[in-house]
Amino acid sequence: MTAIAERIKRHRVEFLVRAILPHVSMKSFVCDIGAGDGAITGQIEDAGNCWCDAYDVKPGSGWVRAYDGRTIPEPGGCNDVVLCVASLHHCEDQPRVLREARRVLRPGGRLIVVEDRYDSAWDRLVVHAFHYYLWAVERMPFRGDGFGTRADWHRRLELAGFRVDSFEEIGRPLPWVPLVNVLIVAEAV
């Protein structure tokens, strides 16, 4: 990775950790689904004094564990927090992943989702253009139906056994890219 790419990645990770950390209690058990190289999970673990397990279908580091994209290899009800940071739009079966997130959360546990805002025609154009670029350059697959409006996310999460507590715009993770991220916090019911 070039020095510039590393700086961009570090900036994005710090931006996301600042947004997520206030929603993670100290000493929590955290499961990160779609963790990539685990950079976000590692910072959450250190800053929040938490215990974290990280999973991805294509792990980007030695401590992120591989999983099949369908079943999280953990017992039910063992986590206080599940993170899905910019990962759900990559899932082949998003409803199943959301149900798995619910399964591994204790009752009252929190699901924290970060995705791209998708509420206007402009949002949809920018989101799809950016992800087609990532697909062309990095061969990073995504599912167009994996994105959603505020109403879509409320419906999807309720069907998976969650109650949405908050839905907030957290801004642009990269100032020169016109994508705006939203942070969704939902409680396992």
Q: What pLDDT score was predicted for residue 170?
A: 97
pLDDT band with cut points at 50, 70 and 90 for residue 1: low
pLDDT score recorded for residue 177: 86
Query: What pLDDT digit, counting tens, does each position of 156-183 carry?
Result: 999 999 999 999 999 999 888 889 999 9
Percentages (nearest 5) of helix, strand, coil residues in the chain = 40, 25, 35
* CB neighbour list of residue 71: distance below 8 Å, 6 or more residues apart: 100
Q: Strands of 29-33's sheet, edge to edge? A: 65-66, 51-56, 29-33, 79-85, 105-116, 181-188, 162-171
Residues in the chain: 189
Helix axes of 94-104 and 150-159: crossing angle, nearest 10 degrees: 60
Range of the domain at 152: 3-188
Domain with 67 in it: what CATH number? 3.40.50.150
Domain count, the chain: 1
Percent of the chain topping pLDDT 70: 99
pLDDT of residue 62: 85
